[in-house]
Every structure is written in C-alpha cells, then in structure tokens.
Amino acid sequence: MTMANVSMPADEPVRRNASAVTAHRWLYALMEAEGPAVLRMLWRILGNEADVLDAYQDCFCKLAGMDKKPKIRQARAYLFRTAANIAIEFIRVRKRQKKHAGAILDVHADRNGESLMPQEALERERAIASLHEAIDQLPAHLRNVLLVRDFSGKSYKEVAEILGIDKATARVYRRTAIVKLANLLQEGSAS
C-alpha cells in the first residue's frame, strides 16, 4: 500500500489538476462512467478494501501508461480486461503469500490449532478461496465473460460490446465457464 501516504478524508470530493485533466480526459470520463462497475468487480473478487483500492488504482495507472489514447469503445474494453487481469494477479499474489505464511486455517487458528472463526464462516472463506483459484484456472476468454457478466453485473449485450464478441457467444462462454468452474471445484474438493 504505497498510496497510504496520500490518504484523504473520505468525504472530500475528487479534485483534479487542470492540466492532468486535459491529458487524461478520456481516462477520467471512463472512471466516471465505468468506475462503479469496475469497483464492483474488484470488490466481489478480492473482497477486502485494501486490495480493492490498490487494484483499482493500478487499473487506471495501467491505462494512463498506454502509448496511444484508445477509442472510447476500446478504452472500455481495455479497462475491464485490465481490471480482470489485475484482480487475478492479486489473487495469485495472495495465494503465493498464503503458501508462504501458511494455510488459511493457520491465519485464523490460535496457538493450539483451534479455529478462532466460527466453523461456518471458515468454510465459507475456504469455499470462496477455492472459487478464486478455480476462476484463476479458467481460460482467459471464459474468465473475462464471467467476471464482466457476474462480477461487474453487466448485461450480455454490454459483455458482448466490451469483449468484442457476440451476445450468443458471451452466453455460451458464461455457461461453459460455470460448468468448468463446477468441475474444477469438484476436483479441488476431491484432492
């Protein structure tokens, strides 16, 4: 969290420097239009504020660093796909860190190995972690449809526009993604 030093009061409105606004007008317009959907996606995948704030920031920084200003439609597609990729990368980092620091059980266990979380909450957390891993293992084209459709809450028409595929394909991809997810989760629970 390198941006922790620039924390501001939560209710202060967003102020933008005039020259930066001119240079990145398209990016701010995109943030205003699609920011809520992107944040929703990140929140539903990552589930904690610190990660969501960092991922959101990274997402727009990645777009700001692009060589060429994209067209409006392209920019929207770039934003969602970049957000999906960044979210997955956060999950991978988290997984690596978890491997390093010990299993999820250990994080919430006391010195005697007894869980500090209620059993139900612990199971839910485990299930969500497995879901994240399964989403990570999906092919990118299926994963992007699932994330934009379910996690951002976009309609199939919008999914199709954003990902540059037709509506029927988006629906088929989403169904395929769910069947694959179920298989991956079953394999995961079996192993």
Partner 1 sequence: MNDEAPYPDNSHCPRRAWVLDQLADDESIKGQCRPSSAVQLHLARCETCRMASEELLATNELLADVIAATPSDALLRDADRRATQAIQAGAKPSRRIDLSRIPEESRRDSGPADSILVRYPEIRWLYERRQIIAASVVLMALVGFSALLHVWKGEPNIAEIELKRVDRHPVTWPADNPPSKKVAPATPQITGGRFVANSRPAKSVRRDPVRDASLEHVGSSQRAFPIPEIEESKTSLLKTMSNGLREFLIDTRLTVDSTSPNSPEERSRNEE
Structure token digits, residue 80: 């969602």
Residues in 127-166 at the binding interface with partner 1, rule: CB under 8 A:
127-128, 131, 140-141, 144, 149-151, 153, 156, 163-166
72 binding partner 1? (CB under 8 A)? no
Q: How far is CA 142 from the centre of its chain?
A: 15
| Member of 25, 72, 73, 93 binding partner 1 (CB under 8 A) | 93
30 binding partner 1? (CB under 8 A)? no
Nearest by Cα to 119 from 99, 105, 134? 105
> Which one of 98-106, 107-115, 120-128 is the stretch in contact with partner 1 (CB under 8 A)?
120-128
Q: Which helix (H) or strand (E) holds 84?
A: helix 72-101
What is the closest distance, in whole angstroms, from the C-beta atom of residue 100 to partner 1 in the complex? 15
| Member of 20, 29, 72, 101 binding partner 1 (CB under 8 A) | 20
What is the closest distance, in whole angstroms, from the C-beta atom of residue 107 to partner 1 in the complex? 18
Structure token digits, residue 30: 């995109």
29 binding partner 1? (CB under 8 A)? no
> Which one of 104-112, 113-121, 183-191 is the stretch in contact with partner 1 (CB under 8 A)?
183-191
Which backbone phi and psi does 190 adopt, to 5 degrees? -70, -40
27 binding partner 1? (CB under 8 A)? yes
* Residue 167 CA: distances (Å) to CA of 47, 130, 153, 161, 162: 29, 29, 15, 8, 11
Report CA Rg, the chain: 19
